[in-house]
Amino acid sequence: MIKDILNKPYTIKIDNDVYTLDYDNKGYAQLEQFTGKGLFKLYDDFVVNNNLCYQHCVDIVCCAMMKNHTAGEIAKARIAFNEKQYLFFENIAPITMAFVEPLTPPKILEKSAKFKEDEIKKKKQMKKAKN
């Protein structure tokens, strides 16, 4: 079996329910089946061009739930997203990160983490210099 992709769970809240978004290979494969689009086309449409129909956006979030939630829980979330479209936009950051992060090469993630650490150190040094 193929080793699972690098994934990090993200949580979103829909009404009073908390859902965990955690993509794995099965989630991405299901997303391709639901949308009829390849993963890189979805990435391009969703992240780069911001040109994806709303139903495919809902598919992105629901497929990310497959690893940790039952079909009934996912169906409930899908209904909520379809009835209250603002819920997707309220949760856009964790949805996007759950989709993108596992697709990002590890070296880029490491560089990003190092950059964040360096920025935090610089801010601390600036605060000390002001005092």
pLDDT > 90? residue 112:
no
Mean pLDDT over the full length of the chain: 86
Residue ranges in the chain assigned as alpha helix (H)? 25-35, 39-43, 54-65, 71-83, 86-90, 92-100, 106-130
3-state secondary structure of 36: coil
Nearest to 116 by CA among 108, 128, 105: 108
What residue ranges do the domains of the chain occupy? 10-105
Instruction: Give residue 7's pLDDT band: very low, low, confident or very high (50, 70, 90).
Output: low
Contacts 24+ apart (CB under 8 A), 76-83: 76/17, 77/14, 77/17, 77/19, 80/14, 80/15, 81/14, 82/58
Global pTM? 0.75
Q: Contact, 48 vs 96, CB < 8 A? A: no
Q: Contact, 46 vs 55, CB < 8 A? A: no
* Per-residue pLDDT reduced to its tens digit, 37-53: 999 999 999 999 988 99
pLDDT at site 101: 87
